[in-house]
Amino acid sequence: YEDEKDWKRARGELELAIKFDPKDADVLIDMYRLPETDEKWRNAVLARVRDLCKTFEKEIEENPSDASAYNQWAWLISNTEGDYQQAIRYSHRSLELNKRGESGAASFLDTLGRCYYAAGDYDNAVKYEREAVAKVNYLQVMQRQLAEFEKALADKNAGAAKAPAKPN
C-alpha cells in the first residue's frame, strides 16, 4: 500500500501488524515514518516507541549479557527519536556481547551505523556501515543504507567546502 501511496490502507495494515507483534521495532519504525499522519497518530506511535524501549530496558536489566535487547533499543531509537548518544552506547555494547558470529556482527554494525547517522556523525555512520556491508555484501538493504549515509557525508562535506570563511 505504501508503494501505491494508499496511506489509509497502509496505516490499517501497520496497526494490525503491531497488534500481532507489539515488540516488532520495524513495524513501529514504519508507523513513525508513515506520511500523511496527524498529531494523534504521531503521539500514539511515540508512546508505543517509549513503551517498547522500556520493555527492552527491562530485558537488559534481567539479562545484561544478551546483545539483542541492546541492539533492538538502539535500532528503534536511531530510526525514530530519542537519546541518540545512548543508542550509540547500547549499539557498541551489543557488538561487545555478540555471540552470533559474522552475521550478528554485520547486523549490529548496521545498527551502529544508523545510530551515528541519527546523531549526525556521518563519518562514523559510513565507517560502520561499510564494515557491515563488507561482512554481508549481498544484503541490498545495507547497501542502500550505506549509499544514504555516503550521500549525507558528501553533502555535508560539500556544504563545508562552500561555507564562507568566518571573519576574525
Q: Mean pLDDT in runs of 10 for the chain (168 residues)?
A: 88 95 95 94 96 97 96 98 98 93 89 98 98 92 96 93 60
* pLDDT at site 5: 86
* pLDDT at site 162: 73
Q: Count of CB atoms within 10 A of residue 100's CB?
A: 15
Helices (H), 21-139: 25-33, 39-62, 67-78, 84-97, 101-118, 122-135
Q: What angle do the packed helices 25-33 and 39-62 form, to 10 degrees?
A: 160
* pLDDT at site 100: 79
* pLDDT at site 165: 57
**Cα separation of 7 and 19, whole Å?**
18
The terminus-to-terminus CA distance of the chain in angstroms comes to: 55
Of 21, 22, 30, the residue nearest 2 (C-alpha): 30
**Do 94 and 67 contact (CB within 8 A), yes or no?**
yes
